[in-house]
């Protein structure tokens, strides 16, 4: 069988039945008991599960605890396993849907479509594909059913600001174990469902798309219950290949710790399977005949010579690892609880001798040297949000730096957005988490540089403004342990 193509959901030709059959399969899988690995509940629980969460209200009989420990709540977040784990998860999910469709009398070879919310050629791109909002949850299996009075989703579109693809600029896949920088694919960790710093692609667009849609999608414990989840992740998986194809030293880790790491799943016949990361790096070979993405060549891996050459000639200064760990140059000295109000926090510059070098670079090295094509600027600055703990699904908070008027959001000072996706899971101690919360890091070099160039930057002042997009829902809370500035 030839490699299947995963298609752009917005480019499915008229009369295409991909989504029709997806809907039928979802409905069928929802009728299977949670003890059946091919059921909708079981598939969603592989990602996350919490039986007291209202969306899980009617789950029924559960698999034995030992099986739950091995196969459920496995999602890898804040880790360099984020991309390969979700690729494996999707591959088995797709196989299960495809078999369900054949068993229902449908065509063979079903492939998961992807939702490209970043497509600037498609004015509707940021909206959920119409098939997912048509009808009602009772008539359309592609809707997310409500839990009592709680709607299945909060929004039918994502914020255009949340789907820009700055992450593709990051050249290194694996982030530092400290999370600074976080890397394209996430920091080096062991098995880590949500404890460490979220990688660049994971923070944006991945996490923001989750919380923008909200409802079940807003929480890793319930996200897999929403049929749109899998189209969102097909897109994230596609962006991994897009990133590799951009070249210029971009490549997957070569560390055996990563390549040999294995995860447990069930296939479409309900048989236990183990997959290693190294087995899913070529999409055209995943689970045998594999897949490719519409519009994205599944290119051959780059040779190490080509990699070396492109590293020498094309890397942006400061992006390659020169072996110097970033140093903390400024930080808050108390934790910060967020609520419905805009808040402003000042970071205190730390001036111990060891830090003077990096702080000096932060304060002086950038103006004039930071223009496009500059090869002498090596300063990079990272705004780091540490040990974020919380409850429920907090709103997105936009981050601004040194606003001239703190009551007015000025986009020239915009530094990123905090999604807090999975903050509740990361805050609770259980078998998979130590409860120390989550971490987000933002490379603020570009915004600081452009403010400096326009003389809108006061190096003596380092204020971080956090502005909630909406009022938090009752019962939700979020607290940031520390905000720090790292300089390299």
Chain residues binding ligand C2O by CB under 6 A are: 47, 75, 77, 86, 206, 210, 220, 223, 233
Give 436: exposed, middle or buried? Use CB within 10 Å, 0-12, 13-18, 19+: middle
* Residue number, 210 or 413, with CB nearest to ligand C2O: 210
Nearest distance in Å: CB 373, ligand C2O: 36
Nearest distance in Å: CB 125, ligand C2O: 18
* Residue number, 86 or 433, with CB nearest to ligand C2O: 86
* Residue number, 47 or 380, with CB nearest to ligand C2O: 47
What does DSSP assign to residue 56? G
C-alpha–C-alpha distance, residues 4 and 112, integer Å: 10
C-alpha–C-alpha distance, residues 411 and 150, integer Å: 34
Other Cβ atoms less than 10 A from the Cβ of 349: the count is 17
* Residue number, 230 or 293, with CB nearest to ligand C2O: 230
Q: Is 422 left (phi over 0), alpha (psi -120 to 50) or beta?
A: left
Question: Cα angle vertex 405, ends 402, 407, to 5°?
Answer: 110
C-alpha–C-alpha distance, residues 192 and 84, integer Å: 13
C-alpha–C-alpha distance, residues 208 and 420, integer Å: 9
* Residue number, 220 or 253, with CB nearest to ligand C2O: 220
* Residue number, 75 or 366, with CB nearest to ligand C2O: 75
* Residue number, 234 or 302, with CB nearest to ligand C2O: 234
Nearest distance in Å: CB 206, ligand C2O: 6
C-alpha–C-alpha distance, residues 140 and 49, integer Å: 24
Other Cβ atoms less than 10 A from the Cβ of 441: the count is 28
- Which residue's C-beta sits nearest to ligand C2O? 75
C-alpha–C-alpha distance, residues 388 and 102, integer Å: 45
* DSSP-derived secondary structure for 134-199: SS-TTT-TTSPPPBTTB-S-S-SB--GGGG--GGGG---SEEPTT-SS--SSEE--SS-SS-SBPP
Nearest distance in Å: CB 102, ligand C2O: 27
**149-180 as b/e: b if 16+ CB within 10 A:** eebbbbbeebbebbbeeebbbbbbbbbbebbb
Nearest distance in Å: CB 48, ligand C2O: 7
Peptide bond into 205 cis (omega under 30): yes
Other Cβ atoms less than 10 A from the Cβ of 314: the count is 14
CA-closest candidate to residue 184, choices 168, 206, 208: 168
* Residue number, 24 or 206, with CB nearest to ligand C2O: 206
* Residue number, 48 or 181, with CB nearest to ligand C2O: 48
Nearest distance in Å: CB 269, ligand C2O: 25
Nearest distance in Å: CB 409, ligand C2O: 27
* Residue number, 79 or 484, with CB nearest to ligand C2O: 79
* Residue number, 216 or 441, with CB nearest to ligand C2O: 216
Other Cβ atoms less than 10 A from the Cβ of 304: the count is 10
Nearest distance in Å: CB 421, ligand C2O: 7
Nearest distance in Å: CB 263, ligand C2O: 12
* Residue number, 231 or 287, with CB nearest to ligand C2O: 231
Q: What is the 3-state secondary structure (H, E, C) of 258-289?
A: HHCCEEEEECCCCCEEEEEHHHHCCHHHCCCC
C-alpha–C-alpha distance, residues 51 and 423, integer Å: 17
Nearest distance in Å: CB 460, ligand C2O: 40
What does DSSP assign to residue 51? T
Nearest distance in Å: CB 193, ligand C2O: 8
What does DSSP assign to residue 460? T
Nearest distance in Å: CB 28, ligand C2O: 24
């Amino acid at each position: 069988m030839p490699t299947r193509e995963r298609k752009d959901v917005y480019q499915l030709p008229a009369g295409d039945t991909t989504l029709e059959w997806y809907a039928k399969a979802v409905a069928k899988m929802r009728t299977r008991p949670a003890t059946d690995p091919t059921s909708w509940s079981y598939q969603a629980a592989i990602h996350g599960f919490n039986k007291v969460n209202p969306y899980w209200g009617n789950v029924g009989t559960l698999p034995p605890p030992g099986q739950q420990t091995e196969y459920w709540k496995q999602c890898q977040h804040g880790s360099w396993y984020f991309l390969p784990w979700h690729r494996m998860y999707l591959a088995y999910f797709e196989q299960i849907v495809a078999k369900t469709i054949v068993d229902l009398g449908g065509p063979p070879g079903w492939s998961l479509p992807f939702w490209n919310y970043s497509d600037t050629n498609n004015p509707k791109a940021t909206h959920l594909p119409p098939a997912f909002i048509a009808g009602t949850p009772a008539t359309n299996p592609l809707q997310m059913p409500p839990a009592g009075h709680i709607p299945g989703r909060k929004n039918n579109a994502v914020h255009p600001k949340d789907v820009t693809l700055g992450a593709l600029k990051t050249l290194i896949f694996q982030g530092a174990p400290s999370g600074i920088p976080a890397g394209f694919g996430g920091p080096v960790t062991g098995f880590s469902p949500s404890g460490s710093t979220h990688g660049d692609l994971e923070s944006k667009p991945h996490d923001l798309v989750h919380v923008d849609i909200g409802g079940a999608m807003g929480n890793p414990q319930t996200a897999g219950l929403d049929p749109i989840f899998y189209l969102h992740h097909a897109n994230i998986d596609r962006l991994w290949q897009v990133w590799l194809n951009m070249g210029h030293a971009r490549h997957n880790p070569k560390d055996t710790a990563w390549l040999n790491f294995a995860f447990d799943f069930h296939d479409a016949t309900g048989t236990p399977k183990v997959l290693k990361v190294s087995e899913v790096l070529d999409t055209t070979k995943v689970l045998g005949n594999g897949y490719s993405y519409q519009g994205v060549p599944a290119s051959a891996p780059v040779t190490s010579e080509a990699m070396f050459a492109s590293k020498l000639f094309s890397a942006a200064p400061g992006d390659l690892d020169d072996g110097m760990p970033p140093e903390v140059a400024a930080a808050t000295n108390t934790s910060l609880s967020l609520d419905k109000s805009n808040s402003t926090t000042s970071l205190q510059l730390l001036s111990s001798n060891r830090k003077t070098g990096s702080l000096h670079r932060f304060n002086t090295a950038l103006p004039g040297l930071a223009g496009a094509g500059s090869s002498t600027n090596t300063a990079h600055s990272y705004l780091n949000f540490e040990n974020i703990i919380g409850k429920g699904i907090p709103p997105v908070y936009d981050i601004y730096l040194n606003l001239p008027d703190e009551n007015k959001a000025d986009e020239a000072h915009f530094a990123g957005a905090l999604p807090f996706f999975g903050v509740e899971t990361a805050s609770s101690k259980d078998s998979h988490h130590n409860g120390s919360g989550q971490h987000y890091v933002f490379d603020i070099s570009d915004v600081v540089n452009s403010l400096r160039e326009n003389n809108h930057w006061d190096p003596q002042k380092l204020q971080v403004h956090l502005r909630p997009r909406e009022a938090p829902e009752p019962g939700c809370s979020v607290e940031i342990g520390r905000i720090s500035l790292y300089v390299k």
